Amino acid sequence: MIMKKITPKFTVVTALIVLAIASRLLPHPPNFAPITGIALFAAHRFQHKDFAYILPLACLFITDLVLGLSWINIAVYSAFIGITWMGTKSQRVNAKTVLFSSVFFFLWTNLAVWFLHYPKNIEGMIQCFTLAIPFFTNTLLGDLFYTGVLFFSFSTIQKRFPLLQS
The count of structural domains within the chain is 1
> pLDDT tens, 6-54?
777 777 777 877 877 888 888 989 999 999 999 999 999 888 889 899 9
- Is the pLDDT at 4 greater than 70, yes or no? no
**Contact criterion met (CB below 8 Å) for 126 and 91:** no
CA distance 53 to 56: 6
pLDDT at 160: 85
**End-to-end CA gap in the chain:** 19
Kindly give the residue spans of alpha helices, DSSP state H, lying in 6-121.
Answer: 8-25, 35-45, 49-67, 72-89, 95-117
- Is the pLDDT at 83 greater than 60, yes or no? yes
In this structure, of 17-26, 54-63, 87-96, 125-134, the range with the lowest mean pLDDT score is 17-26
- Maximal CA-CA distance, the chain: 57
pTM above 0.95, yes or no: no
Domain residues for the domain of 9 are 2-26+33-165
pLDDT at 165: 66
**Burial tier of 49 (Cβ tally within 10 Å: 0-12, 13-18, 19+):** middle
> pLDDT tens, 98-128?
999 999 999 999 999 999 999 999 999 999 9
